[in-house]
Amino acid sequence: MDYSSYRFIKAERQGRILTLTLNNPPMNTVQMELHHELSRIFHDVQVDHDSDVVVLTGSGDVFSAGGDIPNMQRRIDNPELFNQKNVEMKRIIYGLIELEKPVVCRMNGDCFGLGATLALLCDIIIAVDTARIADPHVKVGYVAGDGGAIIWPQLVGYARAKQYLLLGDPLTATEAERIGLINFAVPAGELDAKVQEIAGRLERGATKAIRWTKTSINIALRQLAHSMLDASLAYEALTNIGADHQEAVNAFREKRKPVFNKA
């Protein structure tokens, strides 16, 4: 598999472990080009016969800060761009859920919004203990439509999921490990060793047994995504053209708190 066409995802292979690095420094925000590449990458990995295990990480000190403000304004000004975003979003979510190969998340730093969705849809999540995790869609006047409403309740239950999705507040990796949102929170100096340990065990394991066990586990998750994703993305599209989202974008640019419409 040739990954040279990817500009914002770096692919590196060690043995049969493929590391994919979100590479849009400094915050690895998912601008339109990276969003498009994410809609392709997991489908390409599925048919990559030279890899059995995937490690997903971010460049620098941040996993991903999620969406960026300039793209939000472009989608407000041209809602057709949001429709295209939703088409790609479904390919991202289904591509990751349906990928048979086990995916280890190397959460090297803060992980917000779509970045958090990508991380939480991985199979084993290993985070540096200083990382913060959040899905702050509501804080920018958006519905958490791009997968957060699907995966958070499956990992931590409805009460915790509603707490973090309705308030949009971050939690530390240490707390995320405690409540079962992620698997491991480790000091920065131990992150790579832990990732290599887990990825190495998967690489040396019974490949078909591991793949098809993951596939079996994910049957219910795939069914859930197919039942929820169209509706949640449609609700998010409605908030894209709402006054609250424009107010949040304006407030971010003006470095102030948004004042949302209560009508």
Domain residue spans in the chain? 9-208
Q: CA 200 to CA 195: how far, in whole Å?
A: 8
The pLDDT of residue 261 is 86
What are the tokens at 139?
A: 């804080």
Q: Does domain 9-208 have CATH number 3.30.1360.20?
A: no
Q: Would you give per-residue pLDDT tens digits along the chain (263 residues)?
A: 999 999 999 999 999 999 999 999 999 999 999 999 999 999 999 999 999 999 999 999 999 999 989 999 999 999 999 999 999 999 999 999 999 999 999 999 999 999 999 999 999 999 999 999 999 999 999 999 999 999 999 999 999 999 999 999 999 999 999 999 999 999 999 999 999 999 999 999 999 999 999 999 999 999 999 999 999 999 999 999 999 999 999 999 999 999 998 75
The pLDDT of residue 263 is 58
Q: CA 139 to CA 192: how far, in whole Å?
A: 33
Distances (CA, A) of 188 to 17, 22, 38, 94, 112: 21, 19, 26, 31, 19
Q: What secondary structure does DSSP assign to 1-37, as a single string?
A: ---TT-SSEEEEEETTEEEEEE--TTTT---HHHHHH
Residue ranges of alpha helices (H) inside 169-206 are: 173-179, 191-204
* Structure letter (DSSP) for residue 123: S
Facing residues of 127 across strands?
Answer: 107, 185
The pLDDT of residue 16 is 98
What are the tokens at 217?
A: 């586990």
Q: CA 195 to CA 105: how far, in whole Å?
A: 8
Coil, strand or helix at 107: strand
Q: How many residues does the chain have?
A: 263
